[in-house]
Amino acid sequence: MSVTPGKNVDEMKYESGGANGYRMYLMLCGGTGCVSAGSYEIKNALEHELEKYNLSNEVSVVMTGCNGFCANGPIMVVQPDGIFYQFLSVKDVPHLVEEHMLKGRPVEKLMFTPPDEKSVVPKMSDIGFFKKQRLLALRNRGLIDPEKIEEYIARDGYKALAKVLTEMKPEEVIQEMIASGLRGRGGGGFPTGVKWKTCREAPGEPKYVVCNADEGDPGAYMDRSIIEGDPHSVLEGMAIAAYAVGSSNGYVYIRHEYPLALERLEKAIADAREYGLLGKNIFDQGFDFDINIHCGAGAFVCGESTALMASMEGRPGEPRAKYIHTVEHGLWDKPTNLNNVETYANVPLIVQRGVKWFTSIGTGDVSENPWGGSKGTKVFSLVGKVRNTGLVEVPMGITLREIIFDIGGGIPNGKKFKAVQTGGPSGGVIPEDLLDLPVDFDQLTRVGSMMGSGGMIVMDEDDCMVDIARYFIDFLVGESCGKCLPGREGLTQISRMLNDICDGQAQEGVLELLEETCNTVTSCSLCALGGSAPNPVLSTLRYFRDEYEAHVREKRCPAGLCKNLITYSIDPDKCNGCMLCARECPQNAIDGEKKKPHKINTDLCIKCGICKDVCNRDAVIVK
């Protein structure tokens, strides 16, 4: 196994956010083995020494994925020289920096020659799927037993809570959160620290801290995975939030359809109570905080903050107008701080590693204005027509192309990429020419989509954009609570129009009416569910208007998907009369003799597509 300088230089540029002219890179292993052997302490020591010699602008310390030599960790590779150091410890650092980085003499006693590779198994950090990921919220994924609190503590768990309780005033914690630029991971992107500040300053007692784990987007499971894999990171984040806003009551609102997450969360809360990490007088610092679970019945609208609180109070899950803020009048009309699972999971790490570190990841500048950028990472569930489906955590600012093609491995079965839908059912669809868009809160909003909670559905050339819009709108019609007119009737009308278009029943002028209705629903709905519901329609209209026009004017579905607009036929030149389709057809709609071209009887055909699937000669034509 050797280090290819070219590739690592790419990694370095990526990590350091551009070509900023360092003459030397210290690639310190940030894999689990090396981290538990102390690589972060070494990183701090290195940076300290480099600063001492004024080398900070010339030499950059970069944390990398696992080198695979965990037994010899912590490992560090110096580039461009390609020199390997092993078994590093903090006390080696001053000598190493002085000799190698300052005087240019590699320290032989720390050097290591990597053994020849025995098997040809690739390194984790060479696999596309893992290479570009950066694990913050998912820092313990696959590494700890989520049912053992000790394993969380062993990975520095609850140290951030200890730190805030002993070293920081609540106002300082809030200031830290504002400075970090952490924005709500549930989709809104509201700066977490600003929310905490407003809640702290709001009059009224008691105050509540609520965790929104009502993840209802089809195809999204970020929150479930965090709770299943690392529940204590969420509990610790909530406890820190509670200390900051001045609350001693916490709730997790989690949907009933997540049995495993629920089970692990219950166990985590019980264990934390037993250890005194929840309850009275935590760490003997005079801070009380406990958490209870509230099970949601699985209504999508209950992910909306005011509907969620209504549901917790035992009322129907219906939102209310937004001008009354939940931070001031929330649960039982008391000041309530509500954040998403992933937001809370980020909090302990920011407290521990500091603002400077957190703001080094992501886009924009948040030093003056917490809305000035998107810092940290975002977890996406990457699903749909993509080779590697799964849960990915990437730094903000990564492009959609990198996520879909480098991490996701591209589109399967040789098909062509068509669009990607981000932000859940009320997010928007983004076309191919925007693939190089850097992913952050503001860029996604700019192109008519949104970050949302982080669902990412990839579509290929076989997907019909009108049908996609119809699917999401029909979902939202079903999930709309019916309280406001635009949400109830507006969405129903939009659904009718889309169904007419897909069925070939729509008249000229429907697209203009559709747009007008969408804009009305966007501006007049009571809550964000209604307000963002037309996004799938508006964004597909914006980027794929020709597909809508083909449906309306030519009664044709370009993707060959809308059943009323397509017919199946057999190309007589390609068909060799193998009888396969005729045998498989459930309607017996295919006639033909052996070794002679077959014909489809369109009166009987139900357009199920089985003939196309079974044909070996690609002779079935869909038009």
Near another protein in 170-199, by CB under 8 A: none
Restricted to residues 439-498, the positions that interact with another protein (CB under 8 A) are none
CA nearest neighbour of 174 among 202, 153, 138? 202
User: Which pair of tokens denotes residue 406?
Assistant: 């480098």
18 or 142: whose CB is closer to another protein?
Answer: 142
135 part of the interface to another protein, by CB under 8 A? yes
Q: How far is the CB of 401 from another protein (least distance, A)?
A: 20
User: Considering all CA atoms of the chain, what is the largest pairwise distance in Å, rounded to the nearest integer?
Assistant: 87
DSSP state of 437: -
Structure tokens of 551?
């449906």
CB 609 within 8 A of CB 575: no
Can you tell me which of 147, 313, 333, 571 binds another protein, judged by CB under 8 A? Answer: 147
The b/e string for 100-127 (b: 16+ C-beta within 10 A; e otherwise) is: bbbeeeeeeebeeebeeeeeeeebebee
Nearest partner of 215 among 148, 262, 270, 149, judged by Cα: 262
Q: Shortest Cβ distance from residue 136 to another protein (Å)?
A: 5
**Footprint of another protein on 333-362 (CB under 8 A):** 349, 353
- Give residues 272-311 in contact with another protein (rule: CB under 8 A): 274-277, 283-284
CA distances from 421 to 388, 426, 431 (A): 16, 9, 9
Q: Compose the 260-279 pattern: x for residues touching another protein by CB under 8 A, - for all others.
A: xx------------xxxx--
Stretch that binds another protein, among 64-72, 98-106, 413-421, 479-487 (CB under 8 A): 64-72
Q: At its nearest, how many Å lie between another protein and the CB of residue 357?
A: 9
Q: How many residues in the chain?
A: 623
Contacts (Cβ under 8 Å, ≥6 apart) of 521: 486, 487, 490, 491, 494, 530, 531, 533, 534
Contact at 8 Å (CB) between 472 and 536? yes
Is residue 30 a contact point for another protein (CB under 8 A)? Answer: yes
Q: Residue 225 or 340: which CB sits closer to another protein?
A: 225
Q: Which is nearer to another protein, 22 or 358 (by Cβ)?
A: 358
Choose between 257 and 489: whose C-beta lies nearer to another protein: 257
Instruction: Give least dist CB 52 to another protein, A.
Output: 25
In whole angstroms, how close is the CB of 37 to another protein at the nearest point? 8
82 — alpha (psi -120 to 50), left (phi > 0) or beta? left
- Among 184, 188, 189, 229, the residue binding another protein under the rule CB under 8 A is 229
For another protein, the closer of residues 388 and 505 by Cβ is: 388
Please, which residue, 127 or 324, has the CB nearer to another protein?
A: 127
Q: Phi-psi bin for 184: left (phi > 0), alpha (psi -120 to 50), beta?
A: beta
CB 38 within 8 A of CB 30: no
Name the region of 87 (left: φ>0; alpha: ψ -120 to 50; beta: rest): left
In whole angstroms, what is the distance from residue 131 CA to residue 366 CA? 27
Provide, rounded to whole angstroms, the least separation between the CB of residue 39 and another protein. Answer: 10
How many residues sit close enough to another protein to count as binding (CB under 8 A)? 74
* Residues in 66-125 that interact with another protein by CB under 8 A: 66-71, 118-125
Is the CB of 42 or the CB of 581 nearer to another protein?
42
> Least distance (Å) from another protein to the CB of residue 129?
6
CA–CA separation, 434 vs 86, rounded Å? 44
CB of 347 to another protein, least distance (A): 13
110 with 96: CB under 8 angstroms?
yes
Distance (Å, whole) CA 509 – CA 558: 20
Q: Please list every residue from 373 through 432 that binds another protein, using CB under 8 A.
A: 387-393
Q: Where are the alpha helices (DSSP H) in 53-100?
A: 93-96
Distance of alpha carbon 409 from alpha carbon 83, whole angstroms: 32
* Burial readout 269-296 (b: 16 or more C-beta within 10 A, e: otherwise): bebbeeeebbeeebeeeebebbbeebeb
Residue 393 or 547 with smaller CB distance to another protein? 393
Amino acid at 360: S
Q: Which is nearer to another protein, 36 or 445 (CB)?
A: 36
Alpha carbons 195 and 326: distance in angstroms, whole number: 10
Q: Is 228 among the residues that bind another protein (CB under 8 A)?
A: yes
Q: Nearer Cβ to another protein, position 274 or 333? A: 274
Which of 176, 215, 217, 230 is the binder for another protein (CB under 8 A)? 230
* Residue of the chain from 9, 83, 153, 622 that contacts another protein (CB under 8 A): 153
- The interface region with another protein, picked from 100-108, 135-143, 435-443, 491-499 by CB under 8 A, is 135-143
Tokens of 357: 């570190």
Contacts of 113 (CB under 8 A, 6+ apart): 84
State the minimum distance, in angstroms, from the CB of residue 322 to another protein.
33
- Exactly one of 12, 59, 136, 310 binds another protein (CB under 8 A); that residue is 136
- For residue 67, the minimal CB distance to another protein (Å) is 7
State the minimum distance, in angstroms, from the CB of residue 101 to another protein: 22
Q: Which of residues 49 and 230 has its CB atom nearest to another protein in the complex?
A: 230
| Nearer residue to another protein within complex by CB, 46 or 538 | 46
Piece of the chain touching another protein by CB under 8 A; list 29-37, 48-56, 80-88, 558-566: 29-37
Q: Among residues 157, 141, 137, 161, which one has the least CA distance to residue 149?
A: 157
Taking CB under 8 A as the binding criterion, the range among 63-71, 172-180, 394-402, 457-465 that sits at the site for another protein is 63-71
CB 254 within 8 A of CB 296: yes
